[in-house]
A and B are shown apart, each in its own frame.
Chain A
Amino acid sequence: MMISSLPPFAIFYIGAVILALAPRGARPWIMLLIPVAGLGNMATLDDGLHLSFALFDFQATLLRVDKLSMLFGWLFHIAALFGAVFALHEKDLSQQVSATVYAGSALGAVFVEDLISLFVFWELLAVSSVFLIWARRTAKAYAAGLRYLIYQILSGVILMAGVLLYLYTTGQNSFSQLSLDNTASALIFLAFGVKCAFPFLHTWLTDAYPEATPTGTVFLSAFTTKVAVYSLARAFPGTEMLVYIGAAMTCFPIFYAVIENDLRRVLAYSMINQIGFMVCGIGIGTELALNGAVSHAFNDVIFKGLLMMTMGAVLFRTGKINGSDLGGLYKSMPKTTTFCIIGAASISAFPLFSGFVSKSMVMAAAVEEGYAWIWLMLLFASAGVFHHAGIKIPFFAFFAHDSGIRVREAPINMLIAMGIAAGLCLYIGIYPWTLYSLLPYPVAYLPFDTTHVLTQLQLLFFSALAFTWLKLTGIYPPELISTNIDADWLYRKLGPTLVKNVRVLYLRAIAPMRHAVNEGGSMIAQLTQRWYGENSGLGGVQTVGATIAIALLFFAIILVWDLLAA
């Protein structure tokens, strides 16, 4: 077999250039061809380090092929592939090029072996992805995109500071396991945390993803956060702090998701919930936990992509995405409804659907390591995700009260893309061994244990009972057109209000001073006017003769003065 050492990102970057130059009609097909070519290249990659070169005083290595990078490599190719199929109808060149560069940057980041290259791809991820938000071309999307970009660049700047400090203190440039006991590592950890949507740093995600285009959100949901998960798994496995951060991430978004109206924003919150499981697994750090974390990242990209695609199709056809505006769409979009239910069952970890075979590894690892409270939180989060992503999304979009909206079924390319993702959800759920063979550590875990299957079904069905009961009694909060305050309130409301008020206070405080200055100024002006103005002795001179006379007079005075002084 031919052995290639072409870095996967190169195919995407070259593809993006061809895409930009290609005729309009060919572009969607080129976009489709890029991940296919990439998959071919992936199959021929050889284990080990390739493409090293000297960079300043350090060594940069663009291609590290091992189990962990290959898992994410396969995953990102699959995501780019179904994303391209989903966007096959899209004519917008800016979206096509930015999505391709974005996917390439994600691949670049997971395959590099050194911190400087990681930083470069980290920033390229940020800059290329923001166009998928701006391409919506609304004022809201523009503002949300700017806030997104500020966060992403901030993460990059923190990473740069951390990396520079790390290079300076250790003289090492290798991107491998770090310990959280020095400032450099802490900065790198924080940079990963921003991109990973740690609590309070998460608002860029829930703010911007729902504002992107129907096709853009599918790409966005696949790459940025998963690159961060990969980076954490690479650099900080077994860092105990991550267990608690992860557990918090699984729980708090549920409450927001339940009261959120925009269904793509509900999915954005549920994305944080799912990343929480991965972060928690990385924190636990055993082989089982790490396998669980990265396999859950793999499954999440596919089922979250599927759910984002179904909601994208709904938005594309109806122009609406709020739960309060939708309902009854199963009549006009039955295939999309079916795909949505498959995605919902997968994210809820129903047995025989993909989430079940990966999430349970993290849970089992939490039990093995004796994290009782963490396990209870994860169990609650598992039931909660079924509530808001598993039931709420399909229920409010496709069932609930009939909104009267009648549209055509999603376009064929969207249906094929959803079909690919749904097929993968089922395949991995029923036959997980293919995925397990790709994991970084050997898998000794058996997902389909009778007790485990039944207890999971108990949890899910009784969670559904809670929904049914609360919905029928009218206690369940209705879908309302509203904004829910999150941590972004700090910089979208409190900050601007403070600045505004401080400005008012400042103006008020310096008012007397300004007054005094004004008064003084006008007094000087008046005196000047009086002495040198047009009616004064000097300024009032109107004729040339008088001017010459005054000049001569001054000349005479100076002359006399000079004589006397001598």
Chain B
Amino acid sequence: MWAANCHRALRRLYFLRLTLPNITHVIENEIKHWLLRPRTIRLLWIGFTVVLSALALADVFLHPHALFDVDGTFGFYSWYGLLTCAAMVLFAKALGVLLKRSDTYYDD
């Protein structure tokens, strides 16, 4: 809260041309929310990649009793999740072209 107030005060000062623009820039970086810091973002990327690879490779040790045919393939749950979701978004996007109207469509 203190940081946010500080930030706001500085922004106001900048707006009134009482300080130099690059000072607010520096301060802004200093008080950035931890989620927005480049370091956090890099760590998130690394963590995400490690978890994904570990999960994908888990299939080497994992032998899910194939229930039907298709789910016996290597990394079935991984590729099925990835591909169906990507296909779903693409299909939904195409559907959007067909189904989207202005937000006042039903009003008249």
Are B88 and A462 interface neighbours, CB within 8 A? no
Given contacts A259-B99, A330-B35, A483-B103, contact A463 B55 (CB under 8 A): no
Is A367 in contact with B88, judged by CB distance below 8 angstroms?
no
Q: Are A462 and B99 in contact (CB under 8 A)?
A: no
A258 touches B92 (CB 8 A): yes
Whether B105 is near chain A, meaning CB under 8 Å from some CB there, is: yes
Q: Is the CB of B81 within 8 A of A331?
A: no
Is the beta-carbon distance between A466 and B81 smaller than 8 angstroms?
A: yes
Bound CA–CA A428/B83 (angstroms)? 31
State the CA gap A198–B103 with chains docked (Å): 25
Taking the nearest CB of chain A, how far is it from the CB of B4, in angstroms?
Answer: 8
Given A380-B88, A462-B79, CB of A375 within 8 Å of CB of B106: no
Q: Which of the segments B13-21, B22-30, B56-64 contacts the partner chain? A: B56-64
Establish whether residues B56 and A458, one from each chain, have CB atoms under 8 Å apart when the complex forms: yes
The answer to whether A461 touches B55, judged by C-beta atoms less than 8 angstroms apart, is: yes
- With A259-B100, A469-B86, A483-B103 as known contacts, state yes or no: A459 contacts B95, CB within 8 Å: no
Contact of A480 among B58, B76, B100 (CB under 8 A): B100
Q: Are B92 and A458 in contact (CB under 8 A)?
A: no
- Asked if A372 is at the interface of the complex by the 8 Å CB criterion, the answer is yes
Would A477 and B102 count as touching, CB distance under 8 A? no
Q: Are A477 and B96 in contact (CB under 8 A)?
A: yes
Q: Mark A245-259, 1 if CB is under 8 A from B, else 0.
A: 000000000111011
Q: How many residues of A contact B (CB 8 A)?
A: 47
In the complex the two chains form, what is the Cα distance from A384 to B88 in whole Å?
Answer: 8
Would you call A387 and B85 a contact (CB within 8 A)? yes
Partner of A470, one of B33, B70, B89, B101: B89
Q: Which residues of B68-108 have CB atoms within 8 Å of chain A's CB atoms?
A: 68, 70, 75-86, 88-93, 95-96, 99-106
Judging by beta carbons under 8 Å apart, are A483 and B105 in contact? yes
Question: Distance in Å from the Cβ of A497 to the closest Cβ of chain B?
Answer: 11
**Chain B interface residue count: which class?**
35 or more
| CA distance in complex: A521, B55 (Å) | 88
CB distance from A202 to the nearest CB of B (A): 15
A331 engages B89 (CB within 8 Å) = no
Q: Which residues of A contact B62 (CB under 8 A)?
A: 450-451, 454-455
User: Once the chains are docked, how many angstroms separate the CA of A468 from the CA of B85?
Assistant: 11
With a CB–CB cut-off of 8 A, which chain B residues contact A170? none
Q: In the complex, which residues of chain A have a beta carbon less than 8 angstroms from the beta carbon of B85?
A: 383-384, 387, 462-463, 466-467
What's the A-B contact tally at a CB cutoff of 8 Å?
136
Q: Is A457 an interface residue (CB 8 A)?
A: yes
Q: Known A255-B95, A259-B99, A376-B70; judge A458-B105 contact (CB<8 A).
A: no
B77 & A458 in contact (Cβ 8 Å cutoff): yes
* Option from B33, B88, B100 in Cβ contact (under 8 Å) with A387: B88
**Does A515 sit at the interface, judged by CB under 8 A?**
no
Cβ–Cβ contact A459 & B77, under 8 A:
yes
**A-facing mask of B31-58, CB < 8 A → 1, else 0?**
0010100000000000010011001101
Report the bound CA distance from A465 to B53 in whole Å. 11
B67 touches A375 (CB 8 A): yes
Tell me, rounded to whole Å, the shortest Cβ–Cβ distance linking B50 to chain A: 11
Interfacial chain B residues near A476, Cβ < 8 Å: 89, 93
Q: Quick one: which of A371-404 are within 8 Å of B by CB?
A: 372, 375-376, 379-380, 383-384, 387, 399
The answer to whether B75 touches A458, judged by C-beta atoms less than 8 angstroms apart, is: yes
CA distance A475 to B94 in the complex (A): 11
Given contacts A258-B92, A451-B62, A451-B64, contact A466 B100 (CB under 8 A): no
A527 contacts B by Cβ under 8 Å: no
- Chain B nearest CB: distance from A56 CB in Å? 44
Check if A188 is an interface residue, CB within 8 A of chain B. Answer: no
Say yes or no: is A543 at the interface (Cβ < 8 Å to chain B). no
Q: How far is the CA of A466 from the CA of B77 in the complex (A)?
A: 13
B99 pairs with A458, CB closer than 8 A: no
**27 interchain pairs, CB-CB under 8 A:** A330-B33, A372-B68, A380-B88, A384-B84, A384-B88, A451-B63, A454-B55, A455-B76, A458-B55, A458-B59, A458-B77, A458-B81, A459-B78, A459-B80, A460-B81, A461-B78, A462-B77, A462-B80, A462-B85, A465-B82, A466-B83, A475-B89, A477-B93, A480-B100, A482-B101, A484-B101, A485-B105
